[in-house]
Structure 1
Amino acid sequence: MESCEFLSRFWEGKMSCWLSKETLVLAEDYLEFCVGVQRTPPGPASEAMRCLAKEIEKQNLSKFHSLVQTFLDSCGPDRSSSLRKVMAEMVGDGKLNWGRVVSLFAFTGVLVGELHSRGEGKDCCRRLAETIADYLGVEKQDWLLQNEGWDGFCKFFHSSRGQNHESAMKTALFAAAGIDRMKTRLCVW
């Protein structure tokens, strides 16, 4: 029985590491894409995230810019900790879904774009990508695994095209609107 427990913990650790690394690649690709780095997406999930998150951003640009300004005015120098609080707030009701994940990427993409325009280098992309990877790939690992990881995200993306696209976008827009609740909390932080 002990060897089974050891193997189970071993595979859980491997899975967590793999999922975290895959999430980091995805997050870093998207954030660098948001600051103008031109390269081929490293995989289908990155391509899907670029498409969906940018669509959400375009549809809610003024709201995202307002939220980013509030975030920057109140977060202080430790943006990663503040972003972690935003992520926790987005799923505070326990209902993580792909729409909320896309909204998180869209928000962070607008944030990185603003930081880049203020002269902050690529380091901010890496730090915030690591924060996303740690949160989604480690803390929300169980949810990601239950939803087939980033392959599941690709299925969501493809199923949301055409007939179901509007419904999937409404889910993501609803989650994006949930960031608005952050204004109150951001002022307190």
Structure 2
Amino acid sequence: MSGSLRDQTALLVGDYLAHCRPGPAPPAPAPSPAADTLRRAAADLRRRHRRFFERAAAAGGGAGGGAGPRGGGPGGPAELLARVAAELERDGGLNWGRVVALVALAGALLEPDPSRRRALADTLCRYLAEEKGDWLRDHGGWDGFYHFFNQPDGRPAEQNSALCNAIMAAAGFGLAGLAFLLAVR
């Protein structure tokens, strides 16, 4: 992918969130192979943990749902997303599975109120491209993400057991951490 890391991140996050809330027309094709991989990986994670993401969407629809610059003052969806991202720091940091988990969480938090898209995208882009930009660059950026989740022989992600195993192993804390944050909210 070409462009700055912030631009690439905004493109992928924006595409995924738009894909989560499609309009009456068929969804647009993914703008890049990495965007397509992100769509598929996040959809797989959400499918496997459907009930969890449904609860996250319901919890994220609480007080202050769409107001304010971060998607609703304290406890709003964008603030919850930022808290989950911060929690990752206390449990070993970022990896590609956790990136997918955060993006999937943003998609779930978007469901009750599509007007949250910008606040959620801004929060996720700020975290990934700015706070974790060095990590992303050290791991090959979004091209590295694509290669991590796709076999060199070109098999689709659905047939790639490494995709499912990597997401589940790597995202495990992201899901448990969110459950903890929702419980103490």
> TM class, shorter-chain normalised?
0.7 to 0.9
Q: Give the 3 Å change call, closer, same or farther, for CA 91–114 of structure 1 in structure 2.
A: farther
Residue number among 128, 131, 146 corresponding to 2:138 in the alignment: 146
Residue type of the partner of 1:185?
L
Preserved CA contact (<8 Å) 1:48 1:157? yes
TM-score (norm 2): 0.78
Larger Rg: 1 or 2? 1
- Runs of 4+ off more than 6 Å: none
Percentage of pairs with the same residue:
32
1:41, 1:47 within 8 Å by CA — same for their partners in 2? Answer: yes
TM-score normalised by length of structure 1 = 0.76
Q: Do the aligned partners of 2:57 and 2:111 also contact (CA within 8 Å) in 1?
A: no
How many equivalent residue pairs?
Answer: 167
Question: In structure 1, how many angstroms separate the alpha carbons of the residues matched to 2:85 and 2:61?
Answer: 15
Question: In structure 1, what is the Cα distance between the partners aligned to 2:136 and 2:29?
Answer: 25
The structure whose RCO (Cα within 8 Å, separation 6+) is larger is 1
Gaps of 5+ in 1: 1-16
Q: Go from structure 1 to structure 2 and tell me whether the alpha carbon gap of 1:165 and 1:88 turns closer, same or farther (over 3 Å shift).
A: farther
What letter is aligned with 1:54? A
Is 1:181 matched up with 2:173?
A: no
CA distance in 2, matches of 1:59, 1:184: 19
Q: How far off is 1:110 after superposition?
A: 1.6
Deviations 1:30-73 (A, max 9, x none): 00100015212221211111111111111111111123323434
Choose which of 53, 56, 76 in structure 2 pairs with 1:64. Answer: 53
- Counting helix residues as a fraction of each chain, which structure ranks higher? 1
Instruction: Report the Cα distance in structure 2 between the residues aligned to 1:180 and 1:69, rounded to whole angstroms.
Output: 17
